Every structure is written in structure tokens, then in C-alpha cells.
Amino acid sequence: MRRGPIVVILAGLSLSACAPMRHRVAPYGDDPVSADAIERHAAASCRTKPLRPFVTDGCSFWPDGWPDGSWAECCVTHDIAYWCGGSRKARRAADNALHDCVVARFDDWRGPVLGTFMEAGVWIAGVPWLPTYWRWGYGHAYPHSYEPAP
């Protein structure tokens, strides 16, 4: 049996679990006042307080925008929801809100196309059982699954 692909997959998953220690998107990475404000906003948004401090990298593994437009704030809002975690219904609402926010940034076909790709990507890659720093409920200790709906 060939073990090469298994080793690559396991190495990728272990590296992806290394959570960023600081914000990687402007203005939060460069401005302590903005960082403090978004961290307090994130904490106030959660039903249950996460154990880990809030950090955002903007659109994980996706561009934060193009020269003619940015959707980074859509991703930061989505990161807050994913950091908090919650029910399956809350996750679906967060993913739908990301889609709608990206669509609203454009007046042409790009919005629906980008929004659909981004929504599909986070739905596939953001499951709570993956040991990644962008998973649903990443502010809580791993493993952390869906919470019951309120």
C-alpha cells in the first residue's frame, strides 16, 4: 500500500490546525484599537463564551477581494459566527449571510458566482469535526460539535 498520499493529507491537516495568533486582515492586524473593538464585538455576539481569543484571517484560503472590490468584511463577520459556533441552523445562517454579503458587493454576475463558490467552500471545509483553525466553533476546544438549537 502506498503511504505517500496519506502522509501528505495528515501533514496538511496537522499544519492547518495551527491557529493564527494574531489578526491577518486589515485593519485588525495593524491597528490595536480596531483589533480590540472587533474582539469585543465578537465576544458579545456569542451565546456561549469561547475559550480562545478571537482572531480572523479574513477569507481563509480565498482572496479578500479584487482590485475593484473587497469582501473581507463579509469574511470577518463569518469568522465571528464560526468562532462562536452553535447549532447547525446557526451555521447554515452564517454561510447564507456570507453568500448574500458577497453578492451585494457586485452589480453583475460575479457576485452570485463568487458567493456560491465561497458558501460551498465553507460548508465543505468548515465542519466542526475537522481539527482546523477555521472550523465551526473554532473558538472552543477541539473537539466541539454543534450545539442544540435555542
Q: What is the pLDDT along the chain (150 residues), one digit of tens a residue?
A: 566 666 545 555 554 455 566 787 788 888 899 999 999 999 999 988 899 999 999 998 899 998 777 899 999 999 999 999 999 999 999 999 999 999 999 989 999 999 999 999 999 999 999 999 999 999 999 988 999 877
Return the residue matching grid coordinates 473587497.
70
Say which amino acid occupies 6.
I
Q: Could you tell me the residue range of the domain that residue 58 belongs to?
A: 23-125
Domains in the chain, number: 1
In a domain, 145, yes or no: no
In a domain, 47, yes or no: yes
In a domain, 139, yes or no: no
In a domain, 16, yes or no: no
Q: Which H, E and C letters describe 66-119, residue by residue?
A: ECCEECHHHHHHHHHHHHHCCCHHHHHHHHHHHHHHHHHCCCCCHHHHHHHHHH
Q: Which residues contact 142 (CB under 8 A, 6 or more apart)?
A: 17, 131, 135
Neighbours of 73 (CB within 10 A): 14
Contact 39, 53 (CB under 8 A): yes
Q: Rounded to whole angstroms, how far apart are CA atoms 70 and 55? A: 19
Contact 135, 82 (CB under 8 A): yes
